[in-house]
Amino acid sequence: MEINYKHDLLRIEDVSLLDIAIEIGTPFYCYSLNSICKNYREFTDNIPDSMICYAVKANPNIAIIKAIASMGGGADVVSGGEIRRAIAAKVSVDKIVFSGVGKTREEIEFALDNNIYQINAESKEELELINQVASNKGIRASVAVRINPNIDAKTNNKITTGLKTNKFGISEEYVDEIFARDFSNIDLFGISVHIGSQISNLNIFLETINKVKTIISRIKKYGRKISKVDLGGGLGITYANDDNVPGIAEYTRLLRENICNLGYKIICEPGRAIVGNAGVLVTKVLYTKSNDIVKHVVVDAGMNDLIRPALYGSKHKIVPVKKNEDLQEEEVDIVGPICESDDVFAYKYKMQQVTSGDILAICDVGAYGASMSSTYNSRLLIPEVLVNGNQFAIIRKRGSYEEMLSQDIMPNWKNFE
């Protein structure tokens, strides 16, 4: 990541985070454009002739999607809203892949009307609906079958997707039944698989690839020619508590050696691996309070801004924006202002002594940070900032109370007068 100290001030690329904090206030998300571009190019440089479709759910800001699209990237989307974001960011529709276990008829119609590259179907019932919608429109839909290979991704159980107990994909035992059928308005040329997120073991990816190859060999007996293999995403990044995650180069080498050389159109859908280490959440210390058990550092960001620690138990590196090596280190709990006991960014965290007004940066939050934020406790959505060299731009403005309150509508009832 393009983050470093210069004269004891933390910078992203060539911009001081303290300068941004002074100008726009805290909290805010900040991303390095150079890191995003570097990560994306590492995929394309190492698996040429593939289609890299950025997983929009990781960070759906249109400016970020646009940056990836400008380098030739596609989009992996999971809703009609994400299709619209991808189109607004000028992603070519022939590079949009639509996944998701609960697609509505309206979303399928919208996808087909916009002639996107592929729909990844996740159930027999969905295949029947796609076929019906395509028939009504007098077109043929390009579809891949998302297989659930019953492989344990060895990741957090809240982000594993490849086990039979998960809601995703079509169980392996139904593959023959599906490919034996003739869907009159579907071109069924693809296999898709995605077994989870934040995967740190390359052998799990290899096991998945081998399962895909076995399934493809089975369905050849039905005269089906599989030309496209969508390998999904899932590659993890190194967080503060995880030092053994393979890099993009190691992951792509595995693909080159085991499936890219077999003549299939390969689709990859990285999200976290592109944007995860490109972002920080900048927050200000409001109070410090101590008792005989713990010292709490209360900051102005909350779990509504970054829910990953509360939801997944994730651990992020947290550093001062202004470093002072003369200050002693202390052990603290870093907490937010939300009325929930789980609104904690770190327990028993060792860092330099801080006081009210100090600015901190929570690292590696470019993925599933802003995208999962909310207005819980009627708190405003916070800005997102993109840094490019020595300049920065606000790419999502701070919400306003007027905007938030305007979403509520008072019933026109007599007892509400």
Element (H, E) at 272: helix 272-275
Residues ≥6 apart with Cβ < 8 Å to 317:
239, 240, 362, 363, 364
Tokens of 271: 């999200």
Q: Which residue has the tokens 């800005």?
A: 383
93-97, long-range: CB < 8 A, 24+ apart: 93/117, 95/51, 95/53, 96/53, 97/53, 97/230, 97/267, 97/269
- Rounded Cα gap, residues 220 and 242, in angstroms: 41
Tokens of 256: 């080159």
The pairing of strands 141-148 and 28-32 is: unpaired
Residues ≥6 apart with Cβ < 8 Å to 268:
43, 47, 50, 51, 52, 53, 231, 232, 233, 255
227 touches 266 (CB < 8 A): no
Tokens of 247: 């890099």
Judge whether 339 counts as a catalytic residue: yes
- Rounded Cα gap, residues 100 and 121, in angstroms: 8
CA distances from 51 to 23, 247, 297 (A): 39, 19, 45
- Active-site option among 53, 260, 268, 339: 339
CA distances from 109 to 29, 101, 115, 132, 241 (A): 35, 16, 10, 10, 43
> Which residues are catalytic, by number?
339
